[in-house]
Amino acid sequence: MREEIRTMILNSAENGMITTKRISEMGVHRSALRELMDSGDIIRSGRGIYMIADEWEDDYRLLQKKYARGIYSHGTALYLHGYSERVPLSFHMTFPYGYNSPSIKKENIILTRVIPDNYELGLIAVTTPYGNAVNAYNLERSLCDMMRGSKEDIQTIQFAMKKYVSSQEKDINRLLMYARKLRIESKIRNYLEVLL
């Protein structure tokens, strides 16, 4: 492969990733990907997604790239916000009802689906431990999601709620508004009565 094409592809990678779509937009034939893989310059990390070999792989960013409609939620979002001491063993992502991707079952993802009215409630961009931006729910939504779960992690909830109520960033009105919308207001109020 011509060195200029190789350099162009490697320099076009965003956060150590490049997609076949981006390669095509650059006017480079996809066979260039095969040559870069054969030379060890890039590694295929998913369908249409390639990582620069010497870049650190950010699983949060990679899964966000593969499943763009997924929003990090529950304990994973709390961890990304710094409100959980536990590094997630599985990534919890929320998708709108009707979303289906057969490949998601092969991933280390806990999948939650919500109605369209609640899908974007509290959606923000957060930074992963590797410095990349991904979609996640804000603190208030994440706390509500944890309380709604059928398999509540009491220790994580208690740690997060204690840290939240003592934080300067807390927004109790937003938390209660989300709790009403998600139908868990009484649970949230019970926690707040104990902690405030």
Whole-number percent of the chain with pLDDT over 70: 89
25 forms beta bridges with none
For residue 185, pLDDT beyond 70: yes
pLDDT for 5 equals 65
For residue 59, pLDDT beyond 80: yes
Give the residue, 69 or 26, on which the prediction is more confident: 69
| pTM, full prediction | 0.75
pLDDT for 167 equals 93
Residue 75, burial from CB neighbour count under 10 angstroms (0-12, 13-18, 19+): buried
For residue 28, pLDDT beyond 60: yes
Task: Give whole-number Cα distances, 122 to 103, 143, 162, in Å.
Answer: 27, 11, 20
Tokens describing residue 145: 């999601």
Under DSSP, the state recorded for 131 is: S
Supply the mean pLDDT for the chain: 86
For residue 101, pLDDT beyond 50: yes
Q: What are phi and psi of 14, to 5 degrees?
A: -105, 120
Give the residue, 71 or 194, on which the prediction is more confident: 71
Tokens describing residue 132: 């990349």
Q: Tally Cβ neighbours within 10 Å of residue 117.
A: 9
Q: Tally Cβ neighbours within 10 Å of residue 160.
A: 23
For residue 60, pLDDT beyond 50: yes
Gap between the Cα atoms of 72 and 66, Å rounded: 13
Residue type, position 111, single letter:
L
Of 29-38, 51-60, 138-147, the range with the highest mean pLDDT is 138-147
pLDDT digits (tens, 9 = 90+) for 142-165: 999 999 876 668 888 999 999 999
Strands 91-96 and 109-114: parallel
- Section 67-71 average pLDDT: 94
For residue 4, pLDDT beyond 60: yes
For the ranges 107-121, 148-162, 174-188, the lowest mean pLDDT is seen at 148-162
